[in-house]
Chain A
């Protein structure tokens, strides 16, 4: 493509946007709404993935003792535990603490425990470890190592949770691709029709250009550039609106699951860049489809 032609096309696209600013403004607004729905879905998906990832990252483990360990034994076990990367000791629960916890959980039914002659609940250590620091084999190794210690009766951790977490992530990915794809198609449909209106309002111009000897390429390229710019502007506006909505939600909503407060995250920079590229491409595709009907003759 010649530089002069490219310069002409860009200049023409900018002039067209300026000369038809009201039509373009409406177009950009409509596109922004279409993209906003898509972007909001992506943001929800990102946050859902983030929360799931966060929950799955920290694995809790309980180390049950055969009898109440004395301070020295406990320190030995703790030392052993801290030898593993990513392990954090949350708390030691003595037999009495365990009973107290149970009483609290039973509430009004706590009287049932009064009949017990001795406390059957084991003392335990609650630990968490971060899965970032090691692979999935670490909890298994840790369990084996701890169970070799005499005083340790049993080590429990939720292997199922890891498996469930992985399944959730896989399902989320599939749902994300399907729903995201459908929303993108819907946005594309809206964009194509919006651009069609812009082009239709200038069908005389297309006719004149062709009658004075313009090739299809000469007529189309400024429109395609225009569509891409329109898409980019619509995409940018959608992201600005989404960010404003995000800031409002973050300031007003305190989302809690249990005791854990869930943090909201905005779209990472790569996602923002990708969404802007996708918006421009959607504008380009929309223009290509819309232009098609004007060039059949």
Chain B
């Protein structure tokens, strides 16, 4: 599903965020990417959903070479990748409903279907009574769940989550992790970047460790 071959990413002339990273994530796998702050976890995720281009090396997602992808193909690919961003990236001037509906509007679904799916997803994530709220009116945990709702509403092939429990208390962390596991059970490939050792302690999932931009 995700294949990286000798990927390097350099910002400016000296700052190397990723050094010779090769990684293969199979369909339906659940993988943790871990490492301290600045290890390159976010950059690695950014390469996968093409928010950044690799300086050298090859990145393939769902069989598409990200170095040679057109603007339209990239947009279509991103619709099949759900991303939960570390800073949520919710639109502050749109309601919870509108934020979650965005992914479906982009996909061109009819309004009646959008309404139905958004209601279902928000109910599933315990946000049914927050539809009309704006993100700044929500707590960190609620915003995290809205971001998750937006990421999963399209039934993505891949779900990327960057520090999805970073700002949450232990109860909410467990709740979010349970949701990620549920999504994974339904067949979605899940990649979670986290620096939390707590989260990894009892897991039997594959863990990819990054340090100073290298897989260790």
Chain B 55-82 per-residue mask, 1 if CB under 8 angstroms from chain A, else 0: 0000000000000000110011111010
Given contacts A19-B93, A205-B91, A216-B71, contact A211 B107 (CB under 8 A): no
Instruction: Identify A213's interface contact among B78, B93, B111, CB under 8 A.
Output: B78
Question: Is B89 in contact with chain A by the CB < 8 A criterion?
Answer: yes
Interface residue tally for chain A (C-beta within 8 Å): 19
Chain B 120-161 per-residue mask, 1 if CB under 8 angstroms from chain A, else 0: 000000000000000000000000000000100000000000
Instruction: Identify B76's interface contact among A4, A210, A212, A213, CB under 8 A.
Output: A213
In the complex, A5→B89 CA distance in Å? 23
Given contacts A4-B108, A218-B106, contact A208 B89 (CB under 8 A): yes
Given contacts A8-B105, A205-B91, A216-B71, contact A211 B78 (CB under 8 A): yes
Interface residue tally for chain B (C-beta within 8 Å): 25
B72, B106, B107: which has the most chain A beta carbons within 10 Å?
A: B106
Contact B89 A211 (CB under 8 A): yes
Residues of chain A at the chain B interface (Cβ within 8 Å): 2, 4-5, 8, 19-20, 204-205, 207-216, 218
Contact B76 A208 (CB under 8 A): no
- Report the nearest B residue to A214, measured CB to CB: B106
Contact B102 A209 (CB under 8 A): yes
In the complex, A19→B98 CA distance in Å? 14
In the complex, chain B residues 92-119 whose Cβ is within 8 Å of any chain A Cβ: 93, 102-103, 105-108, 110-111
Contact A4 B111 (CB under 8 A): yes
In the complex, A5→B85 CA distance in Å? 26
In the complex, A212→B103 CA distance in Å? 6
Instruction: Identify A215's interface contact among B75, B103, B150, CB under 8 A.
Output: B75
Contact A215 B102 (CB under 8 A): no
Contact B83 A211 (CB under 8 A): yes
Shortest CB-to-CB span from B8 to chain A, Å, is 19
